């Protein structure tokens, strides 16, 4: 079973979060697919505005070897044909970051798959990664300015997201 918390962020909140992670960790961003294989892993995180709606955060202290795949011509997803992706994200030491769509009141999350969809088990130190996941999730818990329950989940709303939602009368 995986672990997740629901969050509400805007681009500035998200940038602050990634900057927080970069202080003590060497992190990379992994995007879901791209035309060029070498663009799947972003090591020098500067402008995040063009990232996918959902992406992975890899703390490079956890050893992992990405396995690359390419969408084949027989794929029913015609707009994906030829694009590269990473095949082994399910059992990797990654945290998934899903962005918020504040104007639609759709909130994001951080998620660690842990044992979900890993029949061969995990090949990294689960206890140490769990400690890091707690540090990541605690960033939102400790720095949120407002907690709102949606769909029986606490949503940790960050400062800039809160101002946006409040100004638009969405909370």
Looking at residue 13, its pLDDT comes to 94
Are 112 and 58 in contact, with CB atoms under 8 Å apart?
A: no
Q: Got the DSSP string for 79-98? A: GGTT-EEETT-TTSSEEEEE
User: What are the structure tokens assigned to 157, written together?
Assistant: 């709303």
Mean pLDDT to the nearest integer, 16-29: 89
CA distance between the termini of the chain: 31
- Residue where the block lists tokens 């992994």: 30
Residue 166 is predicted with a pLDDT of 92
The pLDDT value given to residue 51:
79
pLDDT recorded at residue 167: 93
- pTM (two decimals): 0.89
pLDDT bracket for residue 133 (50, 70, 90): very high
What is the overall mean pLDDT for the chain?
88
């Amino acid at each position: 079973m995986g672990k997740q918390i629901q969050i509400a962020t805007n681009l500035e909140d998200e940038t602050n979060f990634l900057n927080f992670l970069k202080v003590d960790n060497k992190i990379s961003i992994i995007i879901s697919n791209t035309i060029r294989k070498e663009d799947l892993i972003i090591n020098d995180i500067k402008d995040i505005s063009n990232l996918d709606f959902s992406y992975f955060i890899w703390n490079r202290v956890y050893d992992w070897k990405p396995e690359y795949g390419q969408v084949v011509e027989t794929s029913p997803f015609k707009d994906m044909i030829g694009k590269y992706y990473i095949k082994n994200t399910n059992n990797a030491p990654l945290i998934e970051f899903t962005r918020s769509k504040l104007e639609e009141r759709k909130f994001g999350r951080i998620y660690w798959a842990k044992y979900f969809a890993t029949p061969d088990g995990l090949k990294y130190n689960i206890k140490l990664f769990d400690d890091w996941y707690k540090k990541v999730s605690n960033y939102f818990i400790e720095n949120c300015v407002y907690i709102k329950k949606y769909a029986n989940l606490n949503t940790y709303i960050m400062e800039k997201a809160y101002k946006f939602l409040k100004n638009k009368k969405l909370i």
